[in-house]
Structure 1
Amino acid sequence: MDLASLPDFTVPLLASVLAGGLIGFEREWRGRAAGFRTHILVCLASALLMTAAVAQGAWSFDALPGTQIVSDPTRMAHGVLTGIGFLCAGVIFRAGFSIHGLTTAASLWITAAIGLLFGAGLFALAAAGTVLTVTALVILRLVSQRLPQKSVVDAEIVWRRDAADAEDAVEAALTALDADRRCDRFELIDNGERVRRTFRLKVAGAAALKALAARLRGVEGVTGYRFDPRDD
């Protein structure tokens, strides 16, 4: 393997950059931690390593007389997909009930897989994977936004412990919004002076959250609240 063989590697490497850029652009547009550059680097690194694995027969080394060297590029693929798991774990975090970053982690994982396909010379399969991935991230999201659905929201509400009617008023406000709400935690904070509870709610949109916020502000004893809509 020398400089003369570089033109043979140009197409898979450039294709991996293009595929990673297309997928990363959608994540960058959504403001995710792993965006344009990260996806390009993941796809390019996968393509580089797989190209090197496929071309093992051209590596410069002296084989022992009478030996036969058999290369197995799939071992490189296994290593890359295992290693990318550590990077994917870095974009996943938990907030209340919700787990955020799963879609971004999945996009990084499939971007690595697409890079491996380009490196192995399976251009049609890699291109199809790129198109389907971008479709899933962009087109299907636009479709889901037009469907009637409710968003899941993590709600954290704090009130004074000495406010006797605060808890009942908070429960009533939440029941009016979502009768099937789920409670997560009960906590005493500030040396036992305040109660903090977290809930999982299903709401129809931002207007419902604004109405809930306005109602909570009118509850005597409520000192704070936080709403955290789930988003991938």
Structure 2
Amino acid sequence: MTTRRSEALGLQDWATLQTEIVSCCRCPRLVAWRESVALQKVARFRDQLYWGRPVPGFGDPQARLWVIGLAPAAHGGNRTGRVFTGDPSGDWLFRALYRAGFANQPTSTHREDGLQLQDCYISAVVRCVPPENRPTAIEAKTCLGYLKQELELLTQVRVILTLGHFAFQHALTLLPPLRPRPRFGHNCVIPLAEGRYLLASYHPSRRNTATRLLTEPMLDAVFAQAQQLLSGKPARPGEH
């Protein structure tokens, strides 16, 4: 099969997966909540049309870096239809991605803002906004099939960066069992099979950034670590 033919089939697989995600209605509680938020809105976005559906992944299908978060924000991804877009967590993330050379601009405000990711793909464990940002175990398990399909399609991925403990624990379920089971720690690197790595970071949530549990230099250090791993050099000592 020619390279061009393979690429065309790959893009078709991505399109099929994204269509499946966007049309998903398997979790009644999340369906009701995402639609309720989209109808009620908040004052500062009352003139905007909310997405109000599951939010697919976004980025470079040939990415070597895969970033995984928790779920769309009520007035971020659930409003804009793009993961980590239009909310404070995304502001932190995309500034860091830009500084590290994985994004062509430091801002992500809406789906047509010109943002392009380079060698990076971004997903969330749960694709619908959950009440109080807390999906149930069953809801997370229901969504994991989408994450697994993305892992299968991201054939070039070498570094899986999880933002927060929730994403870290659920990413582990997609991988061959590791003994002893790895523990979450900021900027912690876990070697995987076939030259891949699992990399952990605190989530750039408002709570973590406001309390300075996570600072911009700390987040930059995580992406420097990712670059180091992608270059084939030994991992740097992690921060804990």
Q: TM-score range by the shorter chain?
A: under 0.3
The structure whose Rg is larger is 1
**Which structure shows the higher strand fraction?**
1
TM-score normalised by the chain length of structure 1? 0.28
TM-score normalised by the chain length of structure 2? 0.27
